Structure 1
Amino acid sequence: MIEEGDDLINEQDEPQETITRVTGMYKDWFLDYASYVILERAVPAIEDGFKPVQRRIMHSMKDLDDGRYNKVANIVGHTMQYHPHGDASIADAMVQIGQKDLLIDTQGNWGNILTGDGAAASRYIEARLSKFALDVVYNPKITEWQASYDGRRKEPINLPVMFPLLLAQGGEGIAVGLSTKILPHNFIELIDASVKHLQGKRFTLVPDFPTAGIADFSNYNDGLRGGKVRVRAKISQLDKNTLVITELPYGTNTSSLIDSILKANDKGKIKVKRIEDNTAAQVEILVHLPAGLSPDKTIDALYAFTSCESSISPLGCVIEDNKPLFIGVSEMLRRSTDNTVQLLKQDLEIKLGEFEEQWHFASLERIFIENRVYRDIEEEETWEGVIQAIDKGLQPHIKHLKRAVTEDDIVRLTEIRIKRISKFDIDKAQQKIDALEEQIAQIKHHLEHLIDYAIAYFTRLKKEYGEGRERKTEIRTFDDVDATKVVIRNTKLYVNREEGFVGTSLKRDEYVCDCSDIDDVIVFTKNGSMMVTKVDSKTFVGKDIIHVAVFKKKDKRTIYNLIYRDGKGGPSYIKRFNVTSVTRDREYDLTNGNKGSTLLYFSANPNGEAEVVTILLRQAGSIKKLKWDIDFADILIKGRQSKGNLVTKYTIKKVELKEKGVSTLKPRKIWFDETVQRLNVDGRGELLGEFRGEDKLLIINQKGVVKTVTPEVTLHFDNDMIVLEKWIPKKPVSAIYYNGERELYYVKRFLIENEGREESFIPEHENSRLEIVSTDWLPMAEVEFVKERGKDRKENLEVNLEEFIAIKGISAIGNQLTKDKVKQINLLDPLPFEEPEEVHADDLEVVDEDIIEGDEESDESQTTLF
């Protein structure tokens, strides 16, 4: 038996062949296969931005190009002469190029990237090269060629693409052992960046997606490994019960997006009544909500639980010199731009050579005819004699030529027809030579100023092809959505206090509250322990549960008040604390840690309430004072691990609630971060003011719609918002608007009487528009008038709006501003006014700077700003 790897010897002991180990075979084959997939299928080349199949498609389309449309099936068949794979892969690749709307001019049903619909069969759709492709992709004179896979034809090694095409189209592929994902970038921005690179300036590139949407590129990392792009659908509120999605995140379509919404609805993460897909040329998905559901929270829930937000990890990998290269998009653009400059140089040099050859022969032809050199050959009987005679005749006249006269030049002179000689015009010949000299001089100038020539080239591309290619994707920095704050609580939480179980399956036990499966639960037991655990069907947390609730991470508003006895017969202590973060499923001891400690009193206060309790002692020895009151407001809020303040060293018989508490938290400061268009309490952006529980925000947009809302971090704001501030109910809104129906300007001042209702304060006419709006006490405006022909310009008018009109209802038309033609209305600085000071009955001493004040609520209430 022959062992694996041994040499096979025949009977005459002559070596015939060697058997290679199987492992060796697989090693070589796998490496060959991996190299083939990487180089020939999945990864684009940095030189032209094409994968091999794409390059062959483009080459075939140029072969077939006659200005008219060709059936895609014909193009696919023609491409198979160069491509060693089947027609399906070629057709799919061609559809992907066509859908990017850059290189191929399409006709027929090429599918829809918005809906995910596929293209029609290749025999039904047609294509031809776009003008842009013909302009920047092809130049046979500077193209390097190689034999096709079967040796019958020649195909380009790389196409001479003079544009950062790979970044414009994007590209992705999965090879063996590596992958690539280059995101598409904006056409105009790429040209601008190329120009900046040529000028030696810095530039920054971020993607631009054909599906538009909103994107956060703060972690893009130049498209290198480790970067991340967050993309979102554009969602707005159509009315109080309807949301509309008008733009999609990259990588999704309307079908997959709607499926993800329905799945989230089935899982109870969000609540949706029904969905309408009205997408045609533009995306329009209507999401109808049940009555009473917050549209703003639902928008956040869509981002948190559906494909309305997704994360893309770019990976810049290209082929250079038959090797994979990991590279950022900025470096890709630099190399592409530098390559374009070299291609432009080669093209100029080729044109220069052609024009110089034309000039050389035109000059030689003129000498040949003008000096009648052709007569010198009349007596010659041999071809060699003819050549020598012409050469001799030319010699006295060729000193100004830029190169020597060759035999080929003389042969070409002999081919001139008699008719051409007889009709030769010296002036026209000289004009042709002069024109060639001008072209040669121009090309030499371009070569000497190559960078300027390249900048002019890119500028021309932008001018000719940039129209309609403006940025589609809105650049924005996203605020993280807290899933626990926007999830629909579709499950009920129960507790068995005595046995120490909490969960959603204990339906025979005490109901606690509604919850969701992503919530955490905080539990306190009588022995002074605390635990936070994830919602489950049934979890043991410790016997004698005294309080259970859904846990809010980083919640500084909920204050826990407790009195505990330290050990079996030890002293009693009082403490106040909040719980902002803990380790899940870890038991925390809120007492001093001595065995036998127990809680004597406990309350959870969602708005920082501080109640008054009565302490009752047991009669023992010579104790004189057996009863007194303690106000929790006198106790500082500290960490949960603090020992607390001493209540008494004697045994407490009972602790009774004497008086329900009021909030000891100061008003909450709220900021608006314009970058992410969201409210926050972290000090980011513009301070809107200090808010108590009853305070509202005033919002006015450019359409003349006003509303007041409770300030919540889940609020969304439209791009046309022009006023966002703390609402002072007694402070009027002043506005000047154009009445489209009456074609006049009006002034009005009004108070907002219907809290929480969205109302329009300008007439509903297509030509009506809001000019200025002010929430100042004494606003001033300036009116500029149109100069009428034959009349002097009317002086600008300053208007004190407070004196101009009294405060009326929001639906009032107002007073006419002027009958003259108005050019412009400007809002001036308001007159000085001392605003009335806000007085609140519940203004209390600040207990802790980190804690914030809210409404007066009972122990079980949970009314908070956020």
Structure 2
Amino acid sequence: MNQETPDTTLGLSNVNHLERLYDGWFLDYASYVILDRAVPYFEDGLKPVQRRILHSMFENHDGRYQKVATIVGRTMAYHPHGDASIGDALVGLGQKNLLIDTQGNWGNPYTGDRAAAPRYIEGRLTPFAVDVVFNPETTEWIPSYDGRSEEPVTLPVKFPLLLAQGVDGIAVGLSTSILPHNFRELCEASIACLRGKKFTLYPDFFTGGIIDVSDYNDGQRGGKVKVRAKIEKVDNKTLAIREIPYGTTTVSLIESIVKANDKGKIKIKHVDDNTSQGVEILVHLQPGTDPQVAIDALYAFTDCEKSLSPCTCVIIDKHPKFVGVSDILKLNTEHTVKLLEWELANELKHLEDKWHMTTLEKIFIEKEVYEVIKKAKDREQIIRLVREGLTPYLKRLHRQTVTDEEIGKLIEIPIRRISHYDREKADQLLQELEENIAKCKYNQEHIIDYAVNHFKNILKKYGEGKERRTQIAEFGKVNAVHVALANQKLYVNRKEGFVGTGMKKEEYLFDVSEYDDLIVFKADGSFKVVKVSDKDFVGKDIILVEKFNKDDERHIYNVIHQDGKDGYAYIKRFNVGGVTRDKDYYMGKNKPGSKILYMSSNMNGEAEVVEVILKPRPRIKLNFEVDFSEVEVKGRGAIGNIVSKYPVKTVKRLRKGVSTLGARVLYFDAPSGIVSTQKKGDCLGEFGENDKLLIIKQDGSARVHTMADPILVGSNIKYLHKYDPAQVFTVLYFEGSNFNYMVKRFNLEGCPMTTEFSVVSDHKDTKLIELFATDDARELMEYQVGREVQKEELDLTEIAEVKGYKALGSKFTAKKIKRVSRISPADPFSDGSGESEGSNEDPSLF
């Protein structure tokens, strides 16, 4: 039999073998990267390197700072990678300012500057981390990579840490990007989850800024958020950026501004970076540049606005899964409940063991069972005799078995301790243990209430200073003051001179947001503008506190003040305008004894009539009328006109006044979605004091606004005009409930004046196609009849009669509508675009 020569070529079988080998190795590598490097576990929200860093720090935690180099070195006993990766992860944890208390130069996340060398900086665990993140008794352990020690599978975190810190990771075949959320809101959401209530979570960034969450999609794939820098106008030539978008640095932001300027998209002279502990970028504009136009350009062409795409991928049951932020919060809350149950079970066991041992000790000493030791010859006999001595008294024990180990502890009690035994103290200790046992059992039976209190305690102990920093808004809302939710109550102590949102026992004023400015007037004639805060001293004897908008030119203050202790009384009308925050301004010349005799705040420049009553004086008329409408409005620095050279006793208002500023001219700025008196955007015409503004949006929702400056109307505007209840509208819309095109004609007599309503049905599939506010309402209809398209021109005013806005309207065809096109010219400002024509295809085709 001839022996075959071995085939040394690369045959097909060898190729298949290599492919199988490669497939196996690649899957192993992918699994390793996903599970052990890039993607966090939902239980503690940590990647393995972060978990090992924290575990190492807890092992050596003594309350003192440790060198970062030392922490890195100790972590290498658990992490099978280089010190550089550990150091970078440690600095990242420290910069989030939640788990690690840092000391030294840990870098600047605003500027992107790196931290100092590990030998120069120090860190230690925060009280929050020690309190919430660690508990060896409720930790599952596995051997470390070299088998010399044990490390946690996950840390027993009793808080949604993953959502608080956020995380980014790129694995093999998938990635994760979870945006950070607000600490306080997470606690409140967990409480709501435990109580079975609804909650909503949106990102919150340490960089502040403004965020549009309309497309957040609960943080899942396909969602996105837009983030903006917070830009303030310092003066007509200078803009200040003090909050930057998340994911940028001051360096990259300035580079994008310079690049946009080089391309001619914005006009600036130069940029100054004054960032240190906080961000401050000053943008100096070219002469003649409109600051508002420059702000819009910065948002459009630089990194002052960025788009982020969240993707919440986490490890659940050792598998990567894509879930929403709300689901992660629920999982974290349920996991916290399990950990609390585990802790209570451990605590109960410890308490019962201690109670058992304390009771044995009490019996052993009080019943003089220890006397049997004298009769024993060896240890075994001692244990037997002691057990026999204890047996008659074991009925009082919950656990009527006594181990040899417990008897061993009893016989090792020193004689001195037996002779000084305090029965009363022992009974007190047993009573305390029994109370704690009962409390522990009660908490086990009411675990949900116990968990709610757990999150409330976290919020109370660690929530201070962790208020939301990123403002939620729909973009187009340029100024944060115009869009911030008034979700805090403002209080004042007039006599002592304090204002703030944390003074809940004082006089309530009104609701504010954390972005509002306040103007405060005091009895001595001084006033200042301050930021809303928890508690701020602004000066004693406060007489008026209001929200402040420096751009509101129609807000006029009418004042009669005395300049100096024996000075003249002056009258003045003024608009505050731009001021420096926290700086004192004065009605007069700030003479000692100055005071305000009368003051009124008028949102639309109203001017009342008052009576001035003088102090008694021979041959002097003691009272006379003063009409503020005869006083010219001047700047805040003007002292005013003399009212009286003699001392004034009091001033009383006799009659209300009307505005002296005339009708206001309103403008609509489509990019910002704001209607105001600022001459920016499309002119809406003159509006008197009793006029109202009607807004109808693309979805058919409508609202009547009373006059205010500014009015935020947002985007997707279909009709924007002065409200006239007799105005007849003609609407073509697709009715979702019956899948038909309908025409309705109506006026808005009797419509709601304070709440939103709809001019079409509320069905989710209903779509507003066309809206006419003129008698000319013609449409070109295209019908699909078989394979042919038929066209017909319709006058919609002939199809339906004028009824109320709640009427359904009239169906006008049974044919399949393919497209509708507007023939009539568009009404001025009907859709905010100025377009004269348009077409809409049948919504059922999409």
Instruction: Give your verdict on TM over 0.5.
Output: yes
Q: Which structure 2 residue ranges, 5 or more long, are not aligned?
A: 1-6, 486-516, 522-526, 528-546, 588-595, 612-622, 666-684, 687-773, 777-823, 830-846
Are 1:807 and 2:632 matched, yes or no? yes
Residue 821 to residue 178, structure 1, CA distance change in 2 (3 Å): farther
Selected match of 2:232 from 236, 258, 261: 236
Counterparts of residues 255-294 of structure 1 (less than 5 Å): 255-294=251-290
Are 1:376 and 2:372 matched, yes or no? yes
Q: CA RMSD in A?
A: 4.1
Distance 2:582 2:47 in 1: 55
Residue 448 to residue 279, structure 1, CA distance change in 2 (3 Å): same
Partner of 1:222: 218
Residue 736 to residue 231, structure 1, CA distance change in 2 (3 Å): farther
Distance 2:143 2:581 in 1: 73
Partner of 2:671: none
Are 1:330 and 2:326 matched, yes or no? yes
Counterparts of residues 340-419 of structure 1 (less than 5 Å): 340-403=336-399, 404-419=401-416
Residue 759 to residue 479, structure 1, CA distance change in 2 (3 Å): closer
User: When the two structures are superposed, what TM-score results if normalisation uses the length of structure 1?
Assistant: 0.62
Partner of 1:110: 106
- SS state at 2:153 partner: strand
Residue 273 of structure 1 aligns with an amino acid whose one-letter code is K
Distance 1:325 1:42 in 2: 13
- SS state at 2:469 partner: coil
Deviation at 1:315, TM superposition (A): 0.7
Partner of 1:81: 77
Selected match of 2:558 from 735, 744, 749: 735
Distance 2:580 2:431 in 1: 71
Partner of 1:425: 422
Residue 400 to residue 817, structure 1, CA distance change in 2 (3 Å): farther
- SS state at 1:378 partner: helix
Distance 1:452 1:813 in 2: 62
Partner of 2:584: 766
Q: Relative to structure 2, which stretch is displaced further, 425-434 or 136-145?
A: 425-434
Deviation at 1:283, TM superposition (A): 1.0
Work out whether residues 181 and 315 of structure 1, in 8 Å CA contact, stay in contact via their aligned partners in 2: yes
Residue 110 of structure 1 aligns with an amino acid whose one-letter code is W
Counterparts of residues 548-697 of structure 1 (less than 5 Å): 675=483
Distance 1:324 1:396 in 2: 59
Distance 2:264 2:191 in 1: 52
Residue 435 to residue 317, structure 1, CA distance change in 2 (3 Å): same
Residue 744 to residue 166, structure 1, CA distance change in 2 (3 Å): farther
Equivalent pairs, count: 589
- SS state at 2:381 partner: helix
Q: Deviations over 1:798-845 (max 9, x none)?
A: 9997458533654642358998999xx999994579998999xx99x9
Work out whether residues 478 and 676 of structure 1, in 8 Å CA contact, stay in contact via their aligned partners in 2: no
Partner of 1:462: 459
Residue 409 of structure 1 aligns with an amino acid whose one-letter code is E
Deviation at 1:38, TM superposition (A): 0.4
Residue 19 of structure 2 aligns with an amino acid whose one-letter code is T
Residue 702 to residue 382, structure 1, CA distance change in 2 (3 Å): closer
Work out whether residues 213 and 474 of structure 2, in 8 Å CA contact, stay in contact via their aligned partners in 1: yes
Distance 2:332 2:582 in 1: 53
Residue 477 of structure 1 aligns with an amino acid whose one-letter code is E
Residue 6 to residue 408, structure 1, CA distance change in 2 (3 Å): farther
Counterparts of residues 49-68 of structure 1 (less than 5 Å): 49-68=45-64
Work out whether residues 561 and 571 of structure 2, in 8 Å CA contact, stay in contact via their aligned partners in 1: no
Work out whether residues 610 and 655 of structure 2, in 8 Å CA contact, stay in contact via their aligned partners in 1: no
Work out whether residues 216 and 476 of structure 1, in 8 Å CA contact, stay in contact via their aligned partners in 2: yes
Partner of 1:479: 476
Selected match of 1:850 from 812, 826, 829: 826
- SS state at 1:398 partner: helix
Residue 99 of structure 2 aligns with an amino acid whose one-letter code is L
Q: Deviations over 1:339-377 (max 9, x none)?
A: 112111111111111110011011111111111222224
Residue 460 of structure 1 aligns with an amino acid whose one-letter code is N
Q: Deviations over 1:532-566 (max 9, x none)?
A: xxxxxxxxxxxxxxxxxxxxxxxxxxxxxxxxxxx
Distance 1:386 1:64 in 2: 42
Deviation at 1:240, TM superposition (A): 1.1
Partner of 1:668: none
Q: Relative to structure 2, which stretch is displaced further, 386-395 or 113-122?
A: 386-395
Residue 287 to residue 837, structure 1, CA distance change in 2 (3 Å): closer
Partner of 1:138: 134
Partner of 1:495: none
Residue 428 of structure 2 aligns with an amino acid whose one-letter code is Q
- SS state at 2:102 partner: strand
Residue 107 to residue 801, structure 1, CA distance change in 2 (3 Å): farther
Distance 1:417 1:117 in 2: 62
Distance 1:762 1:251 in 2: 31
Residue 152 to residue 238, structure 1, CA distance change in 2 (3 Å): same
Residue 189 to residue 433, structure 1, CA distance change in 2 (3 Å): same
Residue 447 of structure 1 aligns with an amino acid whose one-letter code is Q
Partner of 1:194: 190
Deviation at 1:443, TM superposition (A): 1.2
Distance 2:189 2:652 in 1: 38
Distance 2:579 2:244 in 1: 33
- SS state at 1:721 partner: coil
Deviation at 1:307, TM superposition (A): 0.3
Work out whether residues 208 and 470 of structure 2, in 8 Å CA contact, stay in contact via their aligned partners in 1: yes
Distance 2:653 2:192 in 1: 39
Work out whether residues 356 and 440 of structure 1, in 8 Å CA contact, stay in contact via their aligned partners in 2: yes
Work out whether residues 734 and 747 of structure 1, in 8 Å CA contact, stay in contact via their aligned partners in 2: no
Deviation at 1:773, TM superposition (A): 3.6
Residue 127 of structure 2 aligns with an amino acid whose one-letter code is K
Deviation at 1:761, TM superposition (A): 11
Residue 363 of structure 2 aligns with an amino acid whose one-letter code is I
User: When the two structures are superposed, what TM-score results if normalisation uses the length of structure 2?
Assistant: 0.63
Distance 1:745 1:38 in 2: 77
Partner of 1:305: 301
Deviation at 1:380, TM superposition (A): 2.9
Residue 774 of structure 1 aligns with an amino acid whose one-letter code is N
Residue 759 to residue 838, structure 1, CA distance change in 2 (3 Å): closer
Selected match of 2:549 from 721, 733, 738: 721
Deviation at 1:749, TM superposition (A): 3.5
- SS state at 2:395 partner: coil
Q: Deviations over 1:266-319 (max 9, x none)?
A: 111112111111111111111111111111111111111100000011111111
Residue 763 to residue 458, structure 1, CA distance change in 2 (3 Å): closer
Distance 2:39 2:236 in 1: 48
Work out whether residues 563 and 570 of structure 2, in 8 Å CA contact, stay in contact via their aligned partners in 1: no
Work out whether residues 104 and 122 of structure 2, in 8 Å CA contact, stay in contact via their aligned partners in 1: yes
- SS state at 1:399 partner: helix
Residue 817 to residue 224, structure 1, CA distance change in 2 (3 Å): farther
Q: Relative to structure 2, which stretch is displaced further, 375-384 or 131-140?
A: 375-384
Deviation at 1:779, TM superposition (A): 4.0
- SS state at 2:339 partner: helix
Q: Which structure 1 residue ranges, 5 or more long, are not aligned?
A: 8-17, 482-671, 678-699, 706-718, 753-757, 784-797, 854-866
Work out whether residues 274 and 287 of structure 1, in 8 Å CA contact, stay in contact via their aligned partners in 2: yes
Give the structure with higher Rg (CA): 1
Q: Pick 1 or 2: higher relative contact order, CA cutoff 8 A, min separation 6.
A: 1
Work out whether residues 736 and 745 of structure 1, in 8 Å CA contact, stay in contact via their aligned partners in 2: no
Q: Deviations over 1:619-662 (max 9, x none)?
A: xxxxxxxxxxxxxxxxxxxxxxxxxxxxxxxxxxxxxxxxxxxx
Distance 1:838 1:36 in 2: 67
Distance 1:315 1:132 in 2: 28
Work out whether residues 558 and 607 of structure 2, in 8 Å CA contact, stay in contact via their aligned partners in 1: no
- SS state at 2:438 partner: helix
Selected match of 1:27 from 12, 20, 23: 23
Residue 775 to residue 124, structure 1, CA distance change in 2 (3 Å): closer
